[in-house]
Structure formats: structure tokens, C-alpha cells
A and B are shown apart, each in its own frame.
Chain A
Amino acid sequence: QAVVTQEPSLTVSPGGTVTLTCGSSTGAVTSGHYPYWFQQKPGQAPRTLIYDTSNKHSWTPARFSGSLLGGKAALTLSGAQPEDEAEYYCLLSYSGARQVFGGGTKLTVL
């Protein structure tokens, strides 16, 4: 089974910009992996931020954006807010409709 990798932790200053990445052990991540990004705060269920690489839901703050970058899926946060401190997970789709989560990135806003 494929392994999906994320940075274990990242720190961003309030108002700053940070990019989280999501790689695949099978090679470059493409739009065909339909990358998702989820945000989870302690004690809460995850919330979907991005689907199909770069699409946002109505509830996704405008400061979040998704893309493909250097063979990986990327989530960029521009203008970080204290409330953005959370765990972020990516999800990739593989053949046979199999889905694999990354291990998560703990984002600290400090």
C-alpha cells in the first residue's frame, strides 16, 4: 500500500505564510490523486478545507489554498491566524478507489 508523507510539524508567525506538503511513495502526486486537505482541532471532528487539489468549500477561509508543487500536493496558508493552529491531514486517492491519509502536520501559530 502507498505511504503518504507530511511534515510532522511546522510553525508560522501570526500573519505569516506557510506551505504544508503531501507526498506519495508511488511517485509524483497529480490531480489524478484528487488531493484533499482536512483541518482538525483538539476534541473535534475533522473539517474538509480543500478537495480535488484546489477546490474550496463554502466554509473554507479564503486564506487557505491548495495546489500541486514540486510533485506534491500543497496547502498554503497566507496570513495565518491564531485559530489556524491545528492538525492538518491530506488524503490521496489511488487505483481501485482506495484512499490513504498522510500522517498529519501539527501547525503551530506562534
Chain B
Amino acid sequence: QVQLVQSGAEVKKPGASVKVSCKASGYTFTSYDINWVRQATGQGLEWMGWMNPNSGNTGYAQKFQGRVTMTRNTSISTAYMELSSLRSEDTAVYYCITGTTGFDYWGQGTLVTVSS
């Protein structure tokens, strides 16, 4: 079965960067796009962008342009989302998602806390 396992919680200082990993199993990694979504505590869902693991092509939400980079390592079926210049408002749970429609299977989420 399709499974996405994300890296563990992170605590970062303002201005730093964070890189979250998302290891896929149960399907051919390059077959489905991967989307990234985040959710601040008590808030709604926010789409950050997508990546095609086969080509490496990406598309980012305007809000994150210039601050987010989505990459992958196909040899280990893992996708990455790096967010730079962190600020307190970036404190959130970050999810990777995949599937034939792009939003079928969700990772368990990674809590990123930005605090001085």
C-alpha cells in the first residue's frame, strides 16, 4: 500500500532553513506528483507547491516563491521540501501528499517550530 513517511520534528531559529523529507513506498516513486501542504496550529490547510519526481519539475505557490525548494532523490524514493529564511509564522505541521490525483495519500506530518 502507498505510504509516505516524513522526517521528525524540527526546532529552528528565525532566519534559518529547514529541510523536511518524505520517503515513499508501496508504489513507483516517479509515477505520481508530490504536493506539500502546511497547517499552523489551529489554522487551515495551505498549499505550498508540487513536484514531479520523474522530471524534477516544480511549481510553487506565489507566497513561497524564492523561499521554498522542492527536490527529490529517486534512488531512495524520497522527496524533500526546504524552506529558508524562517520566521515565527512558519511554525506549522508540514505534509507531503501523493497519489494518482495528487492528493490521495498523506504523510503523517512534520512539526516545524521556529523560535528564538
Contact = CB atoms under 8 A, between A and B. Distances in A.
Interface of A: 1, 36, 38, 40, 45-48, 51-52, 57, 89, 91, 96-104
Contact of A51 (B47, B62, B103): B103
Nearest to B50: A97
Interface residues of B, number: 20
A79 to B, nearest CB: 25
Contact of B108 (A45, A47, A48, A89): A45
Interface of B: 35, 37, 44-47, 50, 59, 61-63, 95, 99, 101, 103-104, 106-109
B45 A46 contact: yes
Given A91-B103, A97-B50, A104-B45, 12 more contacts: A1-B61, A36-B103, A38-B103, A45-B95, A45-B109, A47-B106, A91-B45, A97-B59, A98-B47, A98-B59, A98-B61, A101-B37
B53 to A, nearest CB: 15
Contacts of B59: 96-98
Nearest to A47: B106
Contact of B103 (A48, A97, A100): A48
A101 B59 CA distance: 16
Contacts of A91: 45, 47, 103
Contacts of B101: 36, 48, 51-52
